[in-house]
Amino acid sequence: MKFDTVTIKDIAKALNFSTSTVSRALRGSYEISAETKKLVLEYAEKINYRPNPIALSLKERRSRAIGVVVSEISNNFFSEAINGIESIAYNRGYHVIITQSHESAAREKVNVEHHASRSVDGLLISLSSETVDLNYIKELNEKGMPIVFFDRITDEIDTHKVTANNYLGAMHATEHLIFQGYKKIAHITSSPLLSIAKERLNGYKAALEKHNIPFNDSFVKYCVHGGMILEEIEEAIEELYKEKIKPDAIFTASDRITTLCFGVLKKMKTKKELGFAGFTNTKVGELFNPPLTVVKQPAFEIGQTATELLIQMIESKRPVVDFETRILDTELIIRESSLRKVEA
Amino acid sequence: MKFDTVTIKDIAKALNFSTSTVSRALRGSYEISAETKKLVLEYAEKINYRPNPIALSLKERRSRAIGVVVSEISNNFFSEAINGIESIAYNRGYHVIITQSHESAAREKVNVEHHASRSVDGLLISLSSETVDLNYIKELNEKGMPIVFFDRITDEIDTHKVTANNYLGAMHATEHLIFQGYKKIAHITSSPLLSIAKERLNGYKAALEKHNIPFNDSFVKYCVHGGMILEEIEEAIEELYKEKIKPDAIFTASDRITTLCFGVLKKMKTKKELGFAGFTNTKVGELFNPPLTVVKQPAFEIGQTATELLIQMIESKRPVVDFETRILDTELIIRESSLRKVEA
DNA sequence: ATGAAAGCGCTAACAA
DNA sequence: TTGTTAGCGCTTTCAT
């Protein structure tokens, strides 16, 4: 015995009741006399009785806990989203258990399965940039585990999804660069496997097309590790500058890639001539030199919405079959980094 | 029944063994014949059997999970520390369950108790800036729950602790400002309840004393919410500027306070004349305008060390009575924000 | 209104 | 070498 924790048995013994009577009294069952209830409740309070949630989970196959799987909590988007998740979950009486995949598909699988075997009541998943095989998630989902995808979603599994309007966000940012007079806009993004990368690329393309700027394939660089490795960013930029036609602006497509690119360009000292805008939820873009133009996702709201949908599924009496994909608007915050430098 | 999960019973039934035989075969017990083992293992594999960790926890009173309580994962120090924690924990076969107190003592208590009741094998705690009452943690600890404090530690509980050398870190940063010629150095810090705030204040004072600069009480401002609220930062700075003697430099004592202060000062446009340095683990201080001089904590290593000590306690046969407090060196990264501006 | 007993999935002491 | 049984903490049917 690790701790000498107080159990229902102790109460029963002390009060000379059966454990079932105590259990019922504790839960306020109508079949228990007021007197007994009072006795039990008071004694429980006195000895500081706490029900053992593990025993409950074993019995009821549920835990009032929600599992979260994200790639990196140090990514501002995710820490904000998690705050949104918690804000709803705690109010509804659910605990939130956070795990990180670090952009590894293997780690993601371990995390999902750990959550499942620990009987979380539902799962909030944002896929890793490496993930290809979704079968194990699909199976889990088909077995009845409620799952909501957020941010990095997938077509392969039919369930609720919540994400930002990545298409429009990217389109507006790109258009903004075009309005500033930039014509050779490069796009640095993460793994092409990611839904968000595809959507942002499409938004970028749409803006170019709308303004009759030909799309140039060599202006798009992928960082398959999603910016976890500095070298891949440096390489992408280097390649960009090897092209015959050099870009006059860069539009980056994810949190870490945005700040890392900004840093690399700063060191290259070519930044001055470059227009720069990127997706990121950093709180400090304003403090950068030059201040950073960003596409900001409604991370907190995405977390909230996903959690609401998940709890709705968890608590639904009958299996949910009507799924929705909620798409929340991004915000373009224009600062100096994307503004056309006045020619001297 | 929520999921039709495979249990030991199913294997037993299918193979016509008793559940105990199956259990033993699965765990490779020496008392089981090679043949039976093979049979069981193969069938288990075939039907994709996974042991139920909840049942195990209930039985063994342990979960191979470590609970973590921090104030904010969006704070870079903590997300790095958590990565350090995970790096050790996963290698040793422990899962990591992260919860946030959001600097609320009440929330912290809920989290700690949730972890305890879920039978985590040990706890890694960094206190909230509000925490005064440590009794419930003390009791838990005395009942036998292994606990290691990290970063924001306490004298009131006798156990392992891991923290940065806040005293020296603050002292060196302050001294650096002094060497730059600043004489009126203000200090903005978080709640005076926090160990780290006290240590950093002492380091600051020590540097002043060493260089014969009188300590001025009104040059120290406390943000009791630890920078969770912008207004308290603005107020602190405002008050500082109301003093007869205005500061010529500011030394900030925590992650969020540092970046928020920097932002507020920037808006005030008085930044130019001010020397600025602060504790923070942000990855992007270099990109600031001006680039930020920081005291960086070895967050990853702190997380690792704390986890090693915790697992050591968890796995120790006899109660650990010899406790240590590990103090890891900080790093002063000097950039432009603290350099004396050349007078025109 | 209360109690006895079974069972959630698993392990282990004890039997055989 | 394998099986029987009890028990971890709790809820719940079925008796009483």
CATH number of A27's domain: 1.10.260.40
Average pLDDT, chain A: 93
Highest mean pLDDT pick, A93-97, A121-125, A319-323, B228-232: A121-125
Q: Are residues B66 and B25 in the same domain?
A: no
Determine the distance between B121 (CA) and C11 (C1') in angstroms. Answer: 19
Q: Do B98 and A98 touch (CB under 8 A)?
A: yes
Q: pLDDT per residue over A226-252, tens digit each?
A: 888 999 999 999 999 888 889 999 999
- Distance (Å, rounded) from C-alpha B22 to C-alpha B39? 10
Say if A281 falls within a structural domain.
yes
- CB < 7 Å to strand D — which of 15-44 in chain A? 19-20, 23-24, 26-27
Residue A115 has pLDDT above 50, yes or no: yes
Q: Are residues A72 and A185 in the same domain?
A: no
* Total number of domains in chain A: 3
Q: Do B96 and A99 touch (CB under 8 A)?
A: yes
Strand order from edge to edge, sheet including B185-189 = B220-222, B185-189, B249-252, B275-279, B293-296, B331-333
In degrees and rounded to multiples of 5, residue A41 shows phi and psi of: -60, -45
For A:131-190, CB contacts with B below 8 A are: 143-145
- Distance (Å, rounded) from C-alpha A190 to C-alpha B142? 49
Say if B344 falls within a structural domain.
no
Say if A111 falls within a structural domain.
yes
Q: pLDDT per residue over A293-331, tens digit each?
A: 999 999 999 999 999 999 999 988 788 889 999 999 999
Select the residue of B2, B58, B62 nearest A62 (Cβ to Cβ).
Answer: B2
Contact between residue A30 and residue A37 where contact means Cβ atoms under 8 Å apart: no
Q: Does the beta carbon of A317 lie under 8 angstroms from any beta carbon of chain B?
A: no
Say which residues have a Cβ less than 8 Å from residue A113's Cβ, sequence separation at least 6: A136, B50
Strand segments (E) across chain B: 65-70, 95-100, 122-125, 147-150, 160-164, 185-189, 220-222, 249-252, 275-279, 293-296, 325-328, 331-333
Q: Which nucleotides in chain D lie closer than 7 A to a protein CB?
A: 1-5, 7-13
Strand order from edge to edge, sheet including A249-252 = A220-222, A185-189, A249-252, A275-279, A293-296, A331-333
Give the pLDDT score at A93.
87
Determine the distance between B4 (CA) and D4 (C1') in angstroms. Answer: 26
Q: Does the beta carbon of B266 lie under 8 angstroms from any beta carbon of chain A?
A: yes
Contact between residue B297 and residue B78 where contact means Cβ atoms under 8 Å apart: no
pTM exceeds 0.75, yes or no: yes
- Two structure tokens written together for B59: 């039985």
Determine the distance between B21 (CA) and C16 (C1') in angstroms. Answer: 14
Residues in chain A with CB shorter than 8 Å from the CB of B2 are 61-62, 119, 144
Q: Are residues A313 and A222 in the same domain?
A: no
Determine the distance between B56 (CA) and D11 (C1') in angstroms. Answer: 19
Determine the distance between B58 (CA) and C10 (C1') in angstroms. Answer: 9
In angstroms, the separation between the Cα of residue B52 and the nearest Cα of chain A is 6
- Report residue A53's pLDDT band, with 50, 70 and 90 as the boundaries: confident
Strand order from edge to edge, sheet including B65-70 = A325-328, A160-164, A147-150, A122-125, A65-70, A95-100, B95-100, B65-70, B122-125, B147-150, B160-164, B325-328
Q: Does the beta carbon of A109 lie under 8 angstroms from any beta carbon of chain B?
A: no
Q: Closest-CA residue in chain A for B113?
A: A50
Residues in chain B with CB shorter than 8 Å from the CB of A263 are 284, 286-287
- Two structure tokens written together for A306: 């996903």
Percent of the residues in chain A that have a pLDDT greater than 90, as a whole number:
81
Give the pLDDT score at A198.
97
Q: Are residues A110 and A127 in the same domain?
A: yes
Mutate to test the interface with B, among A3, A60, A74 (most CBs of B within 10 A): A74
For A:204-263, CB contacts with B below 8 A are: 259, 262-263
Q: Does the beta carbon of B267 lie under 8 angstroms from any beta carbon of chain A?
A: no
Give the pLDDT score at B344.
45
Give the pLDDT score at A337.
95
Q: Does the beta carbon of B79 lie under 8 angstroms from any beta carbon of chain A?
A: yes
Q: Are residues A191 and A223 in the same domain?
A: yes
Q: Which of B249, B245, B251, B224 is nearest to B235 (CA)?
A: B224
Q: Closest-CA residue in chain B for A136?
A: B48
Q: Are residues A66 and A130 in the same domain?
A: yes
Give the pLDDT score at B340.
87
**What separation, in Å, do the N-terminal and C-terminal C-alpha atoms of chain B show?**
78
Q: Are residues B98 and B18 in the same domain?
A: no
Determine the distance between B31 (CA) and C12 (C1') in angstroms. Answer: 13
Instruction: Give residue B227's region: left, alpha or beta (phi > 0; psi -120 to 50).
Output: left
Question: Which residue has the least CA–C1' distance to nucleotide C5?
Answer: A20
Q: Which nucleotides in chain C lie closer than 7 A to a protein CB?
A: 1-13
Residue A279 has pLDDT above 70, yes or no: yes
CA A165-A170-A174 angle, to 5 degrees, is 150
Q: Are residues A105 and A46 in the same domain?
A: no
- Distance (Å, rounded) from C-alpha A31 to C-alpha A43? 19
- How many A/B residue pairs have CB atoms within 8 Å? 120
Say if B56 falls within a structural domain.
no
Q: Are residues B182 and B250 in the same domain?
A: yes
B256 lies in which domain range? 166-296+332-338
Question: Which residue has the least CA–C1' distance to nucleotide D2?
Answer: B21
Determine the distance between B8 (CA) and D4 (C1') in angstroms. Answer: 16
For A:33-72, CB contacts with B below 8 A are: 50-55, 57-58, 61-63, 72
Q: Are residues B33 and B94 in the same domain?
A: no
Say if B319 falls within a structural domain.
yes
Q: Do B100 and A86 touch (CB under 8 A)?
A: yes
Say if B132 falls within a structural domain.
yes
- Report residue A161's pLDDT band, with 50, 70 and 90 as the boundaries: very high
Say if A38 falls within a structural domain.
yes
Q: pLDDT per residue over A305-314, tens digit each?
A: 999 999 999 9
Q: Which residue has the higher pLDDT, A53 or B177?
A: B177
Residue A120 has pLDDT above 50, yes or no: yes
Three-class DSSP category at B129: coil
- CB < 7 Å to strand D — which of 23-42 in chain B? 24-25, 30-33, 35-36
Q: Are residues B228 and B321 in the same domain?
A: no
pLDDT < 50 positions in chain B: 1, 271, 344
Question: Which residue has the least CA–C1' distance to nucleotide C7?
Answer: A59
Say if A3 falls within a structural domain.
no
Q: Are residues A100 and A18 in the same domain?
A: no
Q: At A171, which amino acid appears? A: M
- Distance (Å, rounded) from C-alpha A14 to C-alpha A146? 42
Q: Do B289 and A288 touch (CB under 8 A)?
A: yes
CATH number of B241's domain: 3.40.50.2300
Select the residue of B114, B143, B291 nearest A95 (Cβ to Cβ).
Answer: B114
Provide DSSP, A84-142.
HHHHHHHHTT-EEEEEE-TT-HHHHHHHHHHHHHTT-SEEEE---TT----HHHHHHHH
Please state whether strand D lies within 7 Å of residue A47 at its CB atom.
no
Give the CA count within 13 Å in the CB-facing half-sphere of B243.
19
Q: Closest-CA residue in chain B for A145?
A: B3
